[in-house]
Amino acid sequence: MMPEIDTPILSILRDAGIVHRILPHQRAATSVLDAAEQRGVNPDQMVKSMLLRDMGGVLALACLPGTASVDPRKVRDILGCRRMTCADSGHVQSITGYSPGMVTPLSVMGFMPIIIDPTLEQYEFVNISSGSPMAGVELRFDDLVQLCSPTIADIRRDAKEE
């Protein structure tokens, strides 16, 4: 029997009337690929959320398919910032209230720009963290976009650079 999972992320979805499905894990996921495997979904339907910051303290959440890498230069150009880098794991927790791997667009909406890579648009359903390491949440991509009003822009590192 799985313990009941209730998190601020799930409350946001319920309060917004967004249809979603909780996908429990057998154990705490250690990576995007591990979480996708435990949920039985394509890793590219996993929304990987990377917290970036520039030298002046501007923050942004870059969201892309689970197997893709973010290109901080593309994010910087979109926001008109100077050099952007991924925030270190200690800062992720203090800024978002969530540990790395459990940050979602819903956990930061209204606090910082959210940029979603358009390659996620090909999926009707995407997966985000529930805010618990023991489950993920599946919802319609369009509902996620409608709820968090992101910028949709190419932020993927080009394959030749990986």
CA distance 114 to 105: 7
At residue 155, the pLDDT reads 98
At residue 3, the pLDDT reads 55
Give mean pLDDT in consecutive 10-residue pieces for the chain, a chain of 162 residues.
Answer: 77 96 93 94 97 93 97 96 91 92 93 97 97 94 97 90 50
Outline where DSSP puts E strands in the chain: 20-24, 47-54, 59-65, 84-86, 114-116, 125-132, 135-140, 151-152
